[in-house]
Amino acid sequence: MYLAAQAFFTSLGLEPLNDEFWSESIFEEPSDGTEMSCTAGVWDFMNAEDFRIKSCIDVNHDDFMLAHYLMGRMNYAFNYKEQPVVYRDGANPAFQAAVGDAISLSVRTPRHLYYMGLLEEVSMDEVERTEADFDPAAKYHVIADIPFLRYLFGNVLQFQFHQALCELSLQPPPLYECDIFGSRDAGDALIEMMKLGSSRSWQEAMQAITGRQFVDVQPIVDYFEPLQDWLEATNQANGDSPGWDIDWMPEGDVHLVISLLFFPLMFVF
C-alpha cells in the first residue's frame, strides 16, 4: 500500500523516497513478537537522509488512506530537507496534516479506486449510527493530550489545497470527483510549497500552492455541495426543518434532520 502511495506522489513529479526510508521504516506490526506502540507516525532525523514511518497497517480502505496520508507528511519532510535545520518543518503544524489529507481526497474518488482495481461497484448501503458512536476519547490525540487545533486547521486547508491542485490539473467540477493523479502542474506547485519548509510564513507557503494568503472555507462548501442539495431536498420532502431549536421528531422512522451549513469546521478526523 505504501508503494501505491509512492506511485501517486511520483506521478505528480515528486522524487521517490530513498532506499534508507524503505529499509528502516516499519509498515506492519512485527511478526516476531516485538512489542511496540502501533500509533502511526513519521520521523525526520534531520540529517537529510534518514526518514522513517512507523505504522501497523492492514489491507483495508482506512489503512490505504492512512498510508497516503503518512506518505504525504513524509514527502513534505523529504522536500524541505535542503533547508537549514531550523527551517525543516511545515509552514505551520496544520500544513503537514493538510498535504496528506488533500492527496487522500483524490485517492478516495471512485475514479482513482477504479484505476487501482480496488473498486468494482459503488455500494451506498445505509449505516446505522447513534449518539453512542460519538466517542472523542477513542481518538488517540485526545487521550495522549496532543494539541488538536492543527488538525482542525489542517482539515480546512486540505480542501483549499485540493481545490487549488484540481484547478492546476484542469479538472472539471464537481470537486468531489477530482483526482490529480499524474498531474505534473499540480505536483510542481506542491513541491514548491513543501520545499519552503518553515523558511517563509505560512501565508507565503499558502500562496505558493493556492495563489492567495488567507484561509478559505468555500472549497469545503463546494466539495459537499451535492450533499447539501440532497439534504435540503430530503428535509423538504420529509417536512423537516433543520436548526438548533427543533427538538420534535415524527413518530415511526427517524428522519435525517441536518444542514451542511453547520459543518464547515466540524470535519475533523
> Mean pLDDT for each consecutive 10-residue tract of the chain (269 residues)?
94 94 92 85 93 92 92 94 94 90 91 86 66 69 72 89 95 92 95 94 93 92 94 88 64 49 39
Q: Tell me the whole-structure pTM to 2 decimals.
A: 0.76
pLDDT at site 162:
96
- In contact, 18 and 25? CB cutoff 8 Å: no
3-state secondary structure of 155: helix
Q: Distance (Å, rounded) from C-alpha 193 to C-alpha 210?
A: 10
Which residues sit opposite 52 in a β-bridge? 43
pLDDT at site 252:
54
Torsion angle of the four alpha carbons 38, 127, 72, 181, in this order, in degrees rounded to the nearest 10: 140
- In contact, 6 and 17? CB cutoff 8 Å: yes
- In contact, 202 and 150? CB cutoff 8 Å: no
pLDDT at site 247:
60
Closest CA to 152 of 92, 106, 192: 92
What lies within 8 Å, CB to CB, of 147 at 6+ separation is 93
- In contact, 81 and 48? CB cutoff 8 Å: yes
73 is in an annotated binding site: no
Q: Distance (Å, rounded) from C-alpha 136 to C-alpha 143?
A: 9
pLDDT at site 159:
95
